[in-house]
Amino acid sequence: MPWKLVLVFGVGCLSLLTMFMLVREHHKHDITNHLLSTAGNSAFKAAGKTGLRQPEELRSSSSADCSPRINFVWIKVHKSGSSTTTPLFQQYAFFHNLTVMMPADGGPILSWPIPPREGLYVKPRTGVYNALYQHSRYNKTWLEARFPPDTAYLAIIREPFSHFKSCFNYYRVSHVLKTKKNQYIPNPLRTFLENPWSFKTEALHYGVRFDKTRNAQAFDLGYPLEKADDLDWARRYIDQLEHDFLLVMVLEHLEESVVLLRRLMCWELQDVIIKLSTRNVRDYPFKHYRPTPTEMHTYRQYSAVDFMMYQHFNQSLWRKIQAQDNDFFEEVRHYKSVRVKVGEFCKIKRRMDKSAQMTIPSTRWNPSYTFDSNLCRRLGTSDRTYRKKIWNQLGYGEKIKVRPRMVYNVRMHHGSMLKQARENSKERARNK
Ligand SMILES: *[C@@H]1O[C@H](CO)[C@@H](O)[C@H](O)[C@H]1NC(C)=O
Ligand SMILES: *[C@@H]1O[C@H](CO)[C@@H](O)[C@H](O)[C@H]1NC(C)=O
Ligand SMILES: *[C@@H]1O[C@H](CO)[C@@H](O)[C@H](O)[C@H]1NC(C)=O
């Protein structure tokens, strides 16, 4: 009976197909898991050609009893020392072959102050993101929907008044003080601090109001400008951040923060070496201005959430440090000396010398490493170069050209964002 044969053949084919698909699905899963579990080792495969050397000894005791955390979201808080610290995360992602969430245009900003629209960030080929370190604003819901549950949330903040001075200069806030063209203001900072509330420093971008002079660090960590005076709400919000973040580093205690980061992430010393000379060398007229007690008092009231947050996370940093073994400060001293040693080694002249080598002896916290001039090249790698390298390593393909309007550069477009906020306020007043 031929039709019976056809039936048997058909059913056979179908079950074969199903089996094949099941196996494939399983295999796909395996690949993902495999990639995740081997990602930690791949740095050393890549090491030969890139400047990291195979450690001569096994992991030191302090990282032997834990395994490195490879999933992290780094919130690059603006003007808080994040250009000094971000290379640490870039190099980690690159040498450990992590899947990085990147904007589809390959640029430096994922999205700010709202999450990127679908299609404006690259989808990972493995289905799993490991890392984010490009400019973005903390949005718990959005990030938690896209990163694995064991992701470490990390950020850096700094003393709010020095942050304010830096923003005031960088975003050219003094422009809003002038009522007449060519008006000369001897110290714009002091003029501003007479009554910060009286100046129109609010800006509007993608429907979100922000103010670079007021709680700007809390804003990058997701705090809404509209809640600037609600300190009970701030308390609860900061407690939530404390719960969500593995570590908020403090610029004034940078080396302690980095050593703590290394320990909490179970990374290696060589992962956290960053350049000694930071990029914070910009000088401006009022950089060293010390506020009078009255000015400080005014600013503390005006930007109360940032002060509350700073105090909270500084205390939280020191609490976490206290919970470490008592050799913590010894490791900090060692880390500082390694940075100085690397700085010496990488002075221009030595960088040219291909045969020069330096050895970091093994300690309780690290195996011994031998570095050559590739280390200096690695530390000098620019943001743009890292972006290109990682883009290629991940096989992300064509970059999307994004309309200029979509590209955020708050510094460049600050003037028009201030204007937008003013027009929006007028419109709201008219509609009332
Ligand atoms: C990174 O992962 C890709 C697979 O996604 C692999 O082809 C490549 O060899 C890995 N690179 C390194 C340096 O391990
Ligand atoms: C945060 O993300 C959620 C989910 O995508 C979105 O609905 C919300 O508008 C975002 N909030 C802000 C302030 O961008
Ligand atoms: C942070 O807190 C520690 C411990 O309480 C304190 O010693 C230190 O001065 C604080 N740092 C700053 C910059 O306020």
pLDDT in tens, 348-365: 656 677 888 999 999 999
Separation of 75 CA from ligand 3 center, angstroms? Answer: 22
Nearest atom within ligand 1 for CA of residue 97: 1
Nearest residue by C-alpha to atom 9 in ligand 2? 114
Nearest residue by C-alpha to atom 4 in ligand 2? 142
- Say what the alpha-carbon torsion angle 205, 210, 216, 220 is, to the nearest 10 degrees: -50
Backbone angles phi, psi at 272, to 5 degrees: -110, 15
CA distance 294 to 193: 9
Q: Could you say which ligand is closest to the alpha carbon of residue 46?
A: 1
Residue 122 CB partners (closer than 8 Å, separation 6+): 101, 102, 103, 104, 394, 396
Q: Check residue 102 and give left, alpha or beta (phi > 0: left; psi -120 to 50: alpha).
A: beta
Per-residue pLDDT tens digits for 117-141 = 998 999 987 779 999 999 999 999 9
Backbone angles phi, psi at 282, to 5 degrees: -55, 130
If you search the block for the tokens 């308390």, which residue do you land on? 235
Please state which of the ranges 59-68, 144-153, 190-199, 316-325 shows the lowest mean pLDDT. Answer: 59-68
Per-residue pLDDT tens digits for 74-115 = 999 999 998 899 999 999 999 999 999 999 999 899 999 999
CA distance 116 to 142: 10
Count CA atoms closer than 13 A to 250's CA, side-chain side.
20
- Say what the alpha-carbon torsion angle 228, 230, 235, 238 is, to the nearest 10 degrees: -30
Count CA atoms closer than 13 A to 288's CA, side-chain side.
2
Confidence tier at 62 by pLDDT (50, 70, 90): low
Ligand 1 binding pocket (C-beta < 6 A) is 42, 45-46, 97
Q: Which of 29, 32, 59 is nearest to 44 (CA)?
A: 59
Ligand 2 binding pocket (C-beta < 6 A) is 114-115, 139, 141-142
Q: Which of 65, 146, 90, 58 is nearest to 391 (CA)?
A: 90
Angle, CA 154 vertex, CA 148 and CA 159 arms, to 5°: 160
Mutate to test the pocket of ligand 3, among 252, 255, 314, 320 (most ligand atoms within 8 A of CB): 314
User: Per CATH, the architecture of 69-431 is what?
Assistant: 3-Layer(aba) Sandwich (3.40)
316 C-beta closer than 6 A to ligand 3:
no
Q: Which residue has the higher pLDDT, 352 or 280?
A: 352
Nearest atom within ligand 1 for CA of residue 46: 13
Nearest atom within ligand 3 for CA of residue 310: 14
Does residue 420 carry a pLDDT above 60? Answer: yes
Does residue 340 carry a pLDDT above 70? Answer: yes
Nearest atom within ligand 3 for CA of residue 252: 13
Does residue 68 carry a pLDDT above 70? Answer: yes
| Beta strand pairing call for 152-157 and 72-75 | parallel
Q: Is the pTM of this model over 0.95?
A: no
Separation of 290 CA from ligand 3 center, angstroms? Answer: 19
Average pLDDT of 5-33?
Answer: 45
Q: Could you say which ligand is closest to the alpha carbon of residue 31?
A: 1
CA distance 39 to 14: 37
Nearest atom within ligand 3 for CA of residue 250: 13
CA distance 199 to 213: 10
252 C-beta closer than 6 A to ligand 3:
yes
Confidence tier at 4 by pLDDT (50, 70, 90): low
100 close to 396: Cβ distance less than 8 angstroms:
no
Q: Which residue has the higher pLDDT, 4 or 357?
A: 357
CA distance 102 to 123: 8
